Amino acid sequence: MARYDFDLITIGAGSGGVRATRLAGGYGARTAIVEESRVGGTCVMRGCVSKKLLVMGAHFADDFADSRGFGWAPGDARFDWSALIHNKNVELDRLEGVYNRILETNSVRRIDGRAVLSDAHTVTVNGQSFTAEIILIATGSRPSLPAIPGIEHAITSNEALDLSGLPNRVAIVGGGYIAVEFAGIFNGLGAQVTEIIRGDQVLRGFDADVRATLGDEMAKKGIDIRSGTVVQAIAKDDQGGLRLTLAGPGGVAADSLVVDAVLYATGRTPNTAGIGLAEVGVALDDAGGVVVDDDNRTSVANIYAVGDCTNRVMLTPVAIAEGRAFTETLFNGTPTRVDYANIPTAVFSQPPVGTVGLAEHDAGTPDSVDVYLSRFRPMKHTLTGRDEMTMMKLVVDRRSDRVVGCHMVGVDAPEIIQGLGVALKCGATKAQFDATIGIHPTAAEEFVTMREPRQPPAAAPEAA
């Protein structure tokens, strides 16, 4: 008789949890997955998939306008927010059905409800207890909100994907990838967008040329970026809007801003509270992330964790890779670890960003790296007349000639950078980039035709 009800119980049916559990089930393990919301997790239901569908919808305004340069005479186009949200939800329902069929095909039992750990081998859901030899935590993350007066009037990316109507005036607080993506969505669909950032530029931590280029392009589209600014309070006004009290550097009072909606995108927090982790001895970091080793094992020997809840790299493909590594190691006799070096990343802003490898400021000193940079107007806009620029950048280690960073802002950046991610994984050199024949005419060929490195800035004169 089996000692436990299951070989594996997974808490959380997002990308990482589903991948790990269905692979384990396919390898013959007795598996179950517990989910209190919808199968598919943040990425499908509240994140990258649903958000990108809105990004695509928002881009049609530019496409209609640009078509005139190619001889088209588009008629009066009308946008219907409710139709977009409805169609997006139909697609999410379809994807959830796909996830459920995958779990069923691999003999994974689905348990609906909120899971709480009773001990290291027991999960309680809706008053019923289930035991497992191994427990996997894959509970993801959630948007975080600051404790300021009136924060209850704000929405997060979760609610923004299902608003009943398109607001006319939107304030977006934050400068990270979620913030700039929603700024592009609402701006493209016709809303007046103000983005409020604490720092001096969007996308903190990204390469400086990426940050500057995207900020310039967003401003060209009419997005008002308020840098060095914080929101001190939110209150309803007499006309049904929301009044934001703003402050500049050092907390000095600035002005106020009235909008119809305020979206906070100031970070995400691991979903680990209230499920019994600390009570059974699982160590958490200061942000609530589950502390794990290189094999995804927690401080409790039979409990593992993958994905956003570990507070490592909050990206869906990383969670999927971690889920696969966990299952291969424990249920297929193939010890596997995730390589976190050179993970390609995309920001589906407008224009989009693609990046892989090191930013210039992380790659070394000016005398140890060569930087190749190109800025140009995309071929499409030679006819549309649109004032939009593409930026491409290579960061090269001077001693080894290895390309250590590729960065792009412009149309198709995510698609192009995915391929360059393979090159960086293979340790490609600048000489090998140079020896590669470009596909003409494409934007991507610029990555293999940049020949002259950018000169480093002149050193500041020493004080007398």
Catalytic residue positions, numbered: 440
For residue 351, is the peptide bond before it cis, meaning its omega torsion is within 30 degrees of 0? yes
Report which secondary-structure segment, H or E, holds 402: none
6's CB contacts (< 8 A; 6+ apart) are 30, 31, 32, 109, 130, 131, 132, 133
For residue 17, give the 3-state DSSP assignment. helix
Task: Find residue 261's DSSP bridge partners.
Answer: 170
For residue 130, give the 3-state DSSP assignment. strand
362: Cα within 13 Å, side-chain hemisphere: 12
20's CB contacts (< 8 A; 6+ apart) are 8, 10, 136, 138, 306, 322, 323, 324, 326, 327
Q: Is 148 left (phi over 0), alpha (psi -120 to 50) or beta?
A: beta
For residues 9 and 17, give the distance between their C-alpha atoms in angstroms, rounded to a whole number: 10
383's CB contacts (< 8 A; 6+ apart) are 69, 70
Q: Return the beta strands (E) in 12-150 as ranges.
A: 31-35, 108-112, 115-119, 122-125, 128-137, 141-143
Q: Which residue stretches of 109-170 are H helix?
A: 157-160
Report which secondary-structure segment, H or E, holds 298: none
CA separation, residue 135 to residues 4, 138, 433 (Å)? 11, 10, 45
For residue 461, is the peptide bond before it cis, meaning its omega torsion is within 30 degrees of 0? no
Biggest alpha carbon distance in the chain?
85
Q: Measuring CA to CA, which residue among 120, 127, 173, 166 is closest to residue 146? A: 173
Q: Amino acid identity of 200?
A: D
- Decide: 158 and 34 in contact? Cβ < 8 Å: no
For residues 400 and 402, give the distance between their C-alpha atoms in angstroms, rounded to a whole number: 5
For residues 320 and 43, give the distance between their C-alpha atoms in angstroms, rounded to a whole number: 11
For residues 270 and 287, give the distance between their C-alpha atoms in angstroms, rounded to a whole number: 7
